[in-house]
Amino acid sequence: MPIRALHQFPRRFLWGAATAAQQVEGQNTNDWWRWEQFPRHIAGDQHAGRAADWWAGRYLEDFDRAAGLNNNALRLSIEWSRIEPEPGIWDEWALSRYRDMVLALCDRGITPLITLHHYTSPLWIADRDGWLSDDTPACFERFVRKVVEALRDQCMLWCTVNEPATLIDDGYRLGAWPPGLRRGRAADHAAVNLVSGHVRAYHAIRERQPAAMVGYTAAIERGDTFFDSAVLEGQIRLSRFKTIAVPEAKGAFDWVGLQAYPRLGPRHSPASSPAAVVRAVERHFHRHGKPVYLTEIGIQEGEDRPAYMIDLLRGLWDSANGNRPVRGFFVRSLIDGFEWSQGYGARFGLFSVDFASQERTPTTSASLYREIGARNGLSAEMVETYAPELMAKMFPGEAGKNNVLLKPRARA
């Protein structure tokens, strides 16, 4: 029998879940809403509609669910189209609604990680050619300043742009997402403006909130992106033969968020196996020298999610406690939502949602995650219960031994 043991994570490690406004709020009117109106853009020609009904107030009960899972963090996004529905016109009620959300999280002891651009833009930005327009970075900065001014007393952890490579590739190069372009030159130009928007947002936040931690997220499956070269080298590597100097981007980040979707597509992605994710964390830390967060771990409940989470967390335990800090783990997602081009066909929630009745039902992974948060770690009992096939690998030993607490190692 294995030794009773606990792989304990550092104090203040963030255990959370990730959400996005378009996926959970409902009633949005933005470029993705427009995209949904055309046939064959979304699986089954579905529409986001009410989504998980957060904008109508259901976020409060879901925040209670997050607290019940012993989560101490939640990633959510601010919908630009709500805050600035027309150029320079601010919806103060919508901004106060987001402030209420952030305050509700803080009241529950949950740290907000706020994403400022999670794939969606206002219709007026889309009508001005989106990120192809050289005016968009300045417009984005204006929006960011407005949001930060309203929320800076309650939020210290900011994400400027979610998966910029995905946004550019799928929207401007492959035509699978809005604006639906398939033009390499357009994609390159949009990439340059997206970097500019990030840099402007980064400095705007740090100007108003010097102690803030500002980062961006990247998909592990896509490998190194133009964003990495921009913030590390001060130049955007658009191809092996094309680079653009952006010296102002160098060093304009405080952390990196890595995101993995190991079961998307017909085959498992080797790039997102637990061992590969840990290697990505190590590589990014050694390249960037900045903290790393796992900002989205997207695996559906019917795809051995408990075993995947356990295997990954065991690997991350070494990084979290060494000089290669991973500081947080965010499951995708707290609740089921509208999964972009997949519509409601993909279910990533720790709580499954019946979108007709809006009833929430906890998954097996929710029970596991509750125990992980309560113990701030991964115990032999958890592995024995949720993934017994991993016991020999993770907790080898003999029966009858005393419990062993594997505490965080002192940092060198």
Distance (Å, whole) CA 253 – CA 135? 22
Share of the chain above pLDDT 90, in %: 83
Give per-residue pLDDT as tens, 39-85: 999 999 999 999 999 999 999 999 999 999 999 999 999 999 999 99
What's the pLDDT at 268? 53
Query: HEC states along 187-240?
Result: HHHHHHHHHHHHHHHHHHHHHHCCCCEEEEEEEHHHCCCHHHHHHHHCEEECCC
The candidate with the shortest Cα–Cα distance to 159, out of 28, 273, 18, is 18
The candidate with the shortest Cα–Cα distance to 75, out of 110, 44, 120, is 110
Distance (Å, whole) CA 343 – CA 363? 20
Spatial contact of 339 and 23, defined as CB atoms under 8 Å apart: yes
Give per-residue pLDDT as tens, 349-382: 999 999 999 999 999 999 999 999 999 999 999 9
Tell me the average pLDDT of the chain. 92
The candidate with the shortest Cα–Cα distance to 316, out of 17, 11, 10, is 10
What's the pLDDT at 344? 95
Beta strand ranges found along 172-309 (DSSP E):
213-219, 235-237, 243-245, 255-260, 292-298
pTM: 0.94
The candidate with the shortest Cα–Cα distance to 308, out of 317, 319, 318, 297, is 297
Distance (Å, whole) CA 404 – CA 4? 6
Distance (Å, whole) CA 237 – CA 161? 18
Q: How many Cα neighbours within 13 Å face the side chain of 157?
A: 21
pLDDT for residue 35 is more than 60: yes
Distance (Å, whole) CA 354 – CA 84? 31
Give per-residue pLDDT as tens, 192-245: 999 999 999 999 999 999 999 999 999 998 877 899 999 999 999 988 889 999
**C-alpha separations of 74 from 170, 194, 197 in Å:** 26, 25, 24
Non-local CB neighbours of 410 within 8 Å, separated by 6+ positions? none
- Class for domain 13-375, per CATH? alpha beta
**Tokens for 228?**
């990495």
What's the pLDDT at 114? 98
What's the pLDDT at 129? 97
**Higher-pLDDT residue of 320, 409:** 320
The candidate with the shortest Cα–Cα distance to 260, out of 202, 305, 200, 210, is 305
Strand partners, 76: 114
b/e 266-278 (16+ beta carbons within 10 angstroms → b): eeeeebbbbebbb
Average pLDDT in the 81-90 region?
Answer: 98
Distance (Å, whole) CA 199 – CA 191? 12
The candidate with the shortest Cα–Cα distance to 160, out of 177, 148, 176, 178, is 148
Amino acid at 257: G
What's the pLDDT at 2? 43
pLDDT for residue 410 is more than 50: no
The candidate with the shortest Cα–Cα distance to 145, out of 101, 102, 206, is 206
pLDDT for residue 404 is more than 60: no
What's the pLDDT at 393? 86
Neighbours of 100 (CB within 10 A): 13
Residue 302: which pLDDT band, with cuts at 50, 70 and 90? Answer: confident
What's the pLDDT at 412? 35
Strand partners, 235: 245
What's the pLDDT at 269? 64
Strand partners, 332: 18, 298
What's the pLDDT at 98? 98
Give per-residue pLDDT as tens, 243-268: 999 999 999 999 999 999 987 644 45
Place of tokens 């930060």: 148
**C-alpha separations of 323 from 15, 260, 291, 317 in Å:** 20, 22, 10, 12
Give per-residue pLDDT as tens, 122-164: 999 999 999 999 999 999 999 999 999 999 999 999 999 999 9
